[in-house]
Structure 1
Amino acid sequence: MNSLQLLSFLLLSCIITPGNTHGGKKKEALGSQSQHTRTKKDHQNLETKFRLYTDTTEEGCQIFFNQLETLDKCSFNASLPLVMIVHGWSVDGMLEGWIWKMAAALKSQHKQINVIIADWLTSAHQHYPIAVQNTRHIGQEIADFLEWLEESIQFSRSNAHLIGYSLGAHVSGFAGSYISGTNKIGRITGLDPAGPLFEGMSPTDRLSPDDANFVDAIHTFTKQHMGLSVGIKQPVAHFDFYPNGGTFQPGCHIMHVYNHIAQYGITGITQTVKCAHERSVHLFIDSLLHNDKQSTAYWCNDINTFNKGMCLSCRKNRCNTLGYNIREERLPKSRQLFLKTRAHMPFKVYHYQFKIHFINEIQGKQIDPTFTISLTGTKEDVKNLPITLVEGINGNKTYSFLITLDTDIGELIMIKFKWEGTAVWENIWDTVQTIIPWTKGTRRPGLIVKTIRVKAGETQQKMTFCSQSIDNVHLHPAQEKTFVRCEDRFPRQNRK
């Protein structure tokens, strides 16, 4: 079973369930806002189980709605912030292991908080469209619970942070929209909010920036199949993060199924299917466990522009930290941020924009060379990074591309740039020279590389590198040139 089969299964579930076609019928599947108008707590028991995480019990200490003695029994501290973890759709009716890992990570890094797991398995362990319908009801129960805490022990809803995964992200959004009064929940984090039956819906029918004082979301599996994706693609927060473009994640390809089986046993097949979807969870846990390796993301229009390294600016709040330690800022419009990550924890990489000015001496002849680049930093060196230009080299032009490093090399002080040519390339150049005679002496035509400009995303430092050999700036196949820090001799146009 692969990710495409999972999406097909979700699509089949949507098709065989009445009232899941387009337009108004699709909204009926979710249930309308008016259908879920809240009644004033006319029930003593909620379907959702609220488990306060403790180090001493695996299942947590259950707090019962309207039973104050359970707050004392579980040692809930009203003066401390509350983080509530809300799981998603359940296939096997069991709480997944990541829930306890996240709870433990929250408590280990921030001991002065209450961590509650909102267990809504009874409603989540249903056919997907039924579980979708149940999200509103569970959101209302969470709103009721928070209001009860506020009324009974003066716990402020602004100190509540809901972290919802998949369907749980929309549950959290409904909780934020149903809570009464003008004050909002403090923060909602959506971890790859579910896509089927939510993509394209109005803000009142899904997680949206209006549901809390601050809303952030991490999108990790928006690859579409038959018009559906497991995770929602559209922005749903004040800051929407799209690691690696958000469509898929490194290390999650079906080819890695054997690695997952080795780690998880036969359940590794399931792990492969949900790997990209659940990556959002582990990116968030990573932000808790590695304070010294916080991942930075950058505002950009799309992943293609980002892959050219053209969006590494932090001016005017154009970048932010992914995960728990995000800088909270309400914006009038959702802001989409992109970043690259590694395939495993810690996920942080270091982003660099490289701008290389080429002059192709063979006019009218496009070439498509492959380069490698080696970097020397004050802390570490990195060798033979492959560089493939998106387009061939023509005439006189500057090319921009993104390079990411797994390690912090410190301040960049030297670059070695190599044209990975072979004897075949040498023959091609000799042929070109024969057909188009070179008139400037006996030197063979090649590429002129004048400058390499570098911008480090994480430090925002800008650097210019010039050829170490001032008299020879020509590059030929199989040659390597060394570039060192220099004054920028080539004025740049003012950028807005």
Structure 2
Amino acid sequence: MSVVKILCCLLLTYHLNDGKKIKGNKAVDSKQREVLRLKESYVSSSIFRMFLEGEDNCKLDPRQLHTLTSCGFNSSNPLIIITHGWSLDGMMESWVLRLATTLKTNLIDINVVITDWLSLAHQNYPTAAQSTRTVGKDITHLLHSLQVHYQYPVRKVHLIGYSLGAHISGFAGSYLDGSEKIGRITGLDPAGPLFEGMSPTDRLSPDDAEFVDAIHTFTQEHLGLSVGIKQAVAHYDFYPNGGDFQPGCDLHSIYEHISQYGLLGFEQTVKCAHERSVHLFMDSVMNKDKQSMAYRCSDKSAFEKGICLDCRKNRCNTLGYNIRKVRSGTSKRLYLNTRSQMPYKLYHYQFRIKFVNQMEGIEPSLTISLTGTKEESGDLPITVTENILANKTYTFLITLDRDLGDLMLLKLHWEGSALWKNMWNRVQNFIPWGGREGNPLLTVGSISVKAGETQERTSFCAMTNDGQHLEVSQDKVFVRCKEDTPKQHRRKHNKRLALVP
């Protein structure tokens, strides 16, 4: 177990030692409703700051309407409220201002408010977790004041909460009176301890807003705990890189973090995976031309096999701010792989290969390279982790940091080890080896590659006339089949899309 994981485990275990599960109902009882109605007597435990520019902000007081006007609140613009999580040092984390700046700079006509609940967040974890309901009511009170005095519709509100802030946002949505709901809540790696396994009324849930999305980035479990919640809590739940841990967040990256953050580099390494959810969201706002696509799948294992790159019937969606807001009765789990740094987008490809012959006792290693109209992939290792069976199709997931364009050529190489070359006679081949006596062959039945982002599937045919036999240590070139030209394929793809309801 790495030092980072040990520190995270000890930290959470210490603060949860005396913790108890949060109980109660999110639905506001009559006494709570009365408190919310008594606006003049309501005392907020949180401080709300209207973000202006740079590090400049303006304190809001829902009881003094002139502060809204003087701080530049524009009732014609949407409102985003950013809420931080648990605080170890009682200081506002640097990502808060970076996220606020990103939103204000790129979206322009928008109100951005920061929820400062550091006085409650800077407690032991169970106490801070218990305070999430209180802070949720504070946000509800602010929204209620906007409704009453500005006739501001809460459907124009987008709550973005990180860690404990995600559950705070959920409570804020559930405490609202009336039939109108908050427009959107985004949970950035919602906190797991004391919320995992709880009922929808005791955590962030799809019922808390018209649309709820969540990004899970640190669900790796140690000592029975995970920093981020593993269960689905939204209409769309995204699990980048499986959701358990993130590339670039291990100890090997500590020197990079130190060079970037100085003395805070070690702290950044510890919270790297948890905070990655924030940076993925910022990436979606900053890099509009590189939106990360995620795909619905049953679990991480199935996704890594490359069998889930399907966009029919809303099975895929865009991670982050520009998500398609499609509501459904059940939570959808979506998976994707990302780079270790911004821009995080990777292009997903499904590689399918069918072998005609059967081979026992060997798990061959293949290398493929793809050439498209825009880029080349370079060599991509493919490991078949099981014996090759006759007439069986094997599927693999390939991710690249560049778009290859329309695929035109594929090169396949079968890497044979010295052991294989010396003991090839132990391999049983149930299909004749095409006359090349003494040389074991893999006989390829079909090869295709599907691009997840475009949904285009390309079939490849042997370039030469010697069939589709592949010898050990041989390069074999396959080209796009003549009947599968890019123009024809796009026409077929568009026709299929037109038939999808």
Q: TM-score, normalised by structure 1?
A: 0.92
Q: Which residue of 2 aligns with 1:14?
A: 16
1:475 and 1:468 map into 2 onto residues whose CA distance is 12
CA distances 1:162-189 after superposition (whole Å, capped 9, x unpaired): 0000000000000000011111011000
Corresponding residue for residue 444 of structure 1: 439
Instruction: Name the aligned partner's letter for residue 4 of structure 2.
Output: N
Distance in 2 (alpha carbons) for counterparts of 1:473 and 1:416? 12
Amino acid at match of 1:272: T
Structure 1 range deviating more: 190-199 or 29-38 = 29-38
Residues 389-421 of structure 1: per-residue CA shift (max 9 Å, x gap):
232323331100110110111111101111122
1:433·1:444 contact (CA, 8 Å) conserved in 2? no
Secondary structure, counterpart of 1:16 in structure 2: coil
Output the amino acid matched with 1:382: S
Residue number in structure 2 paired with 1:155? 152
Q: Does 1:388 align with 2:388?
A: no
Q: Which amino acid aligns with 2:271?
A: K
Give the structure 2 partner of residue 412 of structure 1: 407
Q: Does 1:329 align with 2:340?
A: no
Indicate whether 1:77 and 2:83 are aligned. Answer: no
Query: Which of 469-478 and 394-403 deviates more?
Result: 469-478
SS at structure 2 position matched to 1:288: helix
Say if 2:159 is the partner of 1:165.
no
Q: Which amino acid aligns with 2:376?
A: D
Q: Which moved more, 1:464-473 or 1:425-434?
A: 425-434
Alpha-carbon contact 1:2-1:272 (below 8 Å) kept: yes
Contact 2:26 2:175 in 1 (8 A): no
Residue 50 of structure 2 corresponds to 52
Matched, 1:237 2:234: yes
8 Å contact kept, 2:362–2:427: no
- How big is each residue's C-alpha offset from its partner over 1:362-390, in whole Å with a ceiling of 9 and x where there is no partner? 4xx23211111111110111211111123
The structural deviation recorded for 1:14 is 1.5
CA contact (8 A) 1:286 1:347 kept: yes
The answer as to whether partners of 1:433 and 1:445 remain within 8 angstroms in 2 is no
Map of 2:361 onto structure 1:
366
Q: Does 1:266 align with 2:263?
A: yes
Match of 1:463 in 2: 458
What one-letter code is carried by the residue in structure 1 that aligns with 2:45? E
Q: Secondary structure at 2:53's aligned position in 1?
A: coil
Give 1:197's match in structure 2, choosing from 194, 198, 222: 194
Instruction: Give how far 1:138 is off.
Output: 0.3
Q: CA offsets, 1:294-341, max 9 Å, x none?
A: 000011111111111111111111110000000001111101111110
Code of the residue aligned with 1:2 in structure 2: it is V
Pair 1:473–1:405, CA change in 2 (3 A): same
Contact 1:196-1:229 at 8 Å conserved across structures: yes
Are the equivalent residues in 2 in contact too, given 1:33–1:204 (CA < 8 A)?
A: no
State yes or no: 1:249 paired with 2:250: no
Counterpart residue type for residue 394 of structure 1: L
The alignment yields a C-alpha RMSD, in angstroms, of 2.3
Question: Is 1:117–2:114 an aligned residue pair?
Answer: yes
Count of matched residue pairs? 479
Q: Which amino acid aligns with 2:386?
A: E
Among all aligned residue pairs of Structure 1 and Structure 2, give the percentage whose two residues are the same amino acid.
Answer: 55
The residue number in structure 2 matching 1:295 is: 292
SS of structure 1 residue aligned to 2:173: helix
Amino acid at match of 1:10: L
Hey, what's the Cα distance between the residues in 2 that align with 1:171 and 1:127?
17
Contact 2:187 2:213 in 1 (8 A): yes
5+ residue gaps, structure 1: 21-25, 490-495
Q: Is the 8 A contact 1:30 1:133 kept in 2?
A: no
Relative to the length of structure 2, the TM-score reads: 0.91
Task: Identify if the C-alpha distance between structure 1 residues 177 and 438 changes in structure 2 by more than 3 Å, giving closer, same or farther.
Answer: closer
More divergent stretch after superposition (169-178 vs 250-259): 250-259
- The alpha-carbon distance between structure 1 residues 183 and 443, as it changes in their structure 2 partners (threshold 3 A), is same
Maintained 8 Å contact 1:8/1:225: no
